[in-house]
Every structure is written in C-alpha cells, then in structure tokens.
Amino acid sequence: MTATAEDPRWLDDGEMRAWRAYVIASELLRKQLNRELQDRHGLALADYEVLVRLSEQDGGQMRMAQLAGEVASSKSRLSHQIGRMETAGLVRRVECGDDARGVFAEITEAGRARLRETAPTHVAGVRAHLVDLLTAGDQTALAEIFERVLDHLGHPEH
Amino acid sequence: MTATAEDPRWLDDGEMRAWRAYVIASELLRKQLNRELQDRHGLALADYEVLVRLSEQDGGQMRMAQLAGEVASSKSRLSHQIGRMETAGLVRRVECGDDARGVFAEITEAGRARLRETAPTHVAGVRAHLVDLLTAGDQTALAEIFERVLDHLGHPEH
C-alpha cells in the first residue's frame, strides 16, 4: 500500500518513538558539534563540512552544484556560505571557461590548515556524543540503516 | 581514556562507515522532507517543526528560549524565524508581564490549520524515506541509540 497525502498512515507508537528520538537527537547533536567548533575555533560546523568535502577531492576542488548536494544545502545558501569562506581565505572560487556547468570551489592552503587544526575537536565531539555511546551491534545497525537511506535517496556515496 | 583535542583518537573504518552514512543520509533526508513541504505547501521544514512543538503544548504556547532548545536553533535565528511566521499569521508572540524570563510563542488557529493540512505530506515522507525502510529490529535499534544520545546531551524528552 502506498501512503498518499489524502490517506496518511500515521506513525504507530514504536515508529513514533524511533522517529522522534532520531530527529530530536540529531538536531541536538549538530547543535552541540557546531557549538564546540564555534567556541574553540570560531568555525561553523557547516563550514567545517565544506572543508572536509573539498579536502577529499583531487585538487581540492568540487563543482558548486555537486558540493551543494554533498552538504545538502541549496545552491543559493551555499553560494552565500562560500562567499563568506572566500572572504575568510579558506576557499576560492574558480571559473572554468571551457565548462558551461560553471563554477568550482577549491580549498586553499589556509583552509587545509584550518581543517587540520579543528579536526581533533570535531572527532572528539563525534566520539563523545555518538560513536563512543554505541555498542558494536549499534554501530553496524547505524551503518546499515543509513546506507539504506542513502541508496533510497539516490546518493552515490559508499 | 578520554579523547582530547591534543591527542585525538581518529575514527576506525567501522566507526567512520557508521558516522559518514548517518551524517550524510540525515542531511539528505532533511533536505528531501523540506523540499516536499516546500513544493507541495510552500512551508519550510523548520517552520513545520515549530508548529508541531507548539501544538503539543498546553495552550499552544512555549517560551522562546525553550523552543530554541527543542528545535536546536540559536535564539537569534529562532527569533528571526518566529518573526517571519508571525507575519504569515501562523504564530503570535505573547509577552508575559509578570515573567522576567520573557516572551512566548503561541500557535494561532491558522497555524493549527496549516499543520493539519501539511502533516500528511510530512508523515508520507518520513515513512517513504526512513520508517518504511526499517525492519522491526532496526526500529528498536534506532530508538535505543538516539535515546542514549538524548540522555547524554541532557534532553528531558522520552
């Protein structure tokens, strides 16, 4: 049976319990990780995530449209964010004249240095607030659940 | 052993697999749920979540500071958001003269109507992109993992 907007199948108690715990904890976790990076380094989590994605690419570059998909941002919001990060010297925009699909973002040396300096804070937070709370079974369950979501939403990663 | 910023314990392959799947899928899931509400109803997911939280309170009211915690927003960002929602007639701000802790947000009748009209789209998305992808075991695992995160982060919910 397909759920439609006209005939919703509301969540039952067990489904609601799982969904609410997940959605609220996920938001609190992001907020906490963001606060730790802001307080210790003056860096937003969203900016940290852009630096990570770019640093993993050959040449430290990624097409803006692809980067928007990777960090789940709208193109206009990402464009604003990359503008701020460019002013801070962490990335630069590169236009490729021979490519109609447009503009790339590229991590700078200062951006890579910023990432190296802040990564220990981020990984300590990820451990303290999630990873170190998981049993081995939880860890596998978490990977399998969200790899299924990635497959379903059509993301190429993993 | 405690992880410190000076001596990071980097994630091993299994931990990284779980973390990356979770963090990327979670962002894509939010983006997808937001897009469905925007496309079908012109409502942002963040606004939907505020309406849900307020609708569950006695009198449909919540202190702004508490609401900011519930939706994991900063007070300044929430204040801006509530301003937009007030202009749209979905909430109103109520000042309580006898309470130094300040301002409440309250859902309006139009806000409750908007929630009833949009909830079927949201629940259909939550099912299609997460809940209906879970086995019974996954569902329990998800609830237990994120209730542990909520306990750890000091949230009273559940």
Asked whether the beta carbons of residue A141 and residue B142 sit closer than 8 angstroms, the reply is yes
- B2, B7, B24, B76: best to mutate for the A interface, most A CBs within 10 A: B24
Q: Within a 13 Å sphere around the CA of A147, how many CA atoms are in the beta-carbon half?
A: 12
pLDDT band at B8 (very low <50, low <70, confident <90, very high): confident
Return the minimum-mean-pLDDT range out of A133-142, B89-98, B115-124. Answer: B89-98
CB contact under 8 A, A134 and B18: yes
Q: How close A63 gets to chain B, by Cα (Å)?
A: 18
CB pairs under 8 A between A and B: 198
Q: A20 and A104 in contact (C-beta within 8 Å)?
A: no
Nearest to B149 among A6, A25, A40 (CB): A25
The CATH topology of domain B20-153 is: Arc Repressor Mutant, subunit A (1.10.10)
* B4 vs B19, residue with greater confidence: B19
Mean pLDDT of B95-123: 90
Supply the pLDDT for residue A52: 95
State the Cα–Cα distance between residues B74 and A30, nearest whole angstrom. Answer: 12
pLDDT given at position B19: 97
Partner B, chain A 80-109, Cβ-Cβ below 8 Å: none
| Residue B29: partners with Cβ closer than 8 Å, 6 or more residues away | A149, A153, B129, B130
Tell whether A148 lies on the interface with B, counting CB pairs under 8 A.
Answer: yes
**CA of A88, closest CA in chain B: separation in Å?**
22
DSSP designation for A58: G
- Check whether B99 has a pLDDT greater than 70: no
Question: For B28-84, how does the pLDDT look when each residue is reduced to its tens digit (9 = 90+)?
Answer: 999 899 999 999 999 999 999 999 999 999 999 999 988 987 776 777 888 999 999
Chain A residues inside the 8 Å CB shell of B141: 137-138, 141-142, 145
Please report, for chain A, the start and end positions of each structural domain, with discontinuous segments joined by +.
Answer: 20-153
- Helix B13-41 to helix B45-55 angle (10° resolution) is 90
Please indicate whether, in this complex, the C-beta atoms of A31 and B72 are within 8 angstroms of each other.
yes
Residues of A within 8 A of B24 (CB-CB) are: 70, 72, 146, 150, 155, 157
pLDDT tops 90 at residue B156: no
Chain B: closest CA distance from residue A44 (Å): 13
Look at residue B158 in the predicted model and tell me its pLDDT. Answer: 43
Query: Would you say residue B132 has pLDDT above 60?
Result: yes
Facing B134 at nearest CB: one of A21, A133, A145: A145
Q: A95 exposed, middle or buried (CB, 10 Å; 0-12, 13-18, 19+)?
A: exposed
User: pLDDT per position in chain A (158 positions), as tens?
Assistant: 444 555 789 999 999 999 999 999 999 999 899 999 999 999 999 999 999 999 999 999 999 988 987 776 677 888 999 999 999 999 999 987 666 568 999 999 999 999 999 999 999 999 999 999 999 999 999 999 999 999 999 865 54
**C-alpha to C-alpha distances, B117 to A5, A8, B42, B56, B149, nearest whole angstrom:** 9, 11, 12, 16, 32
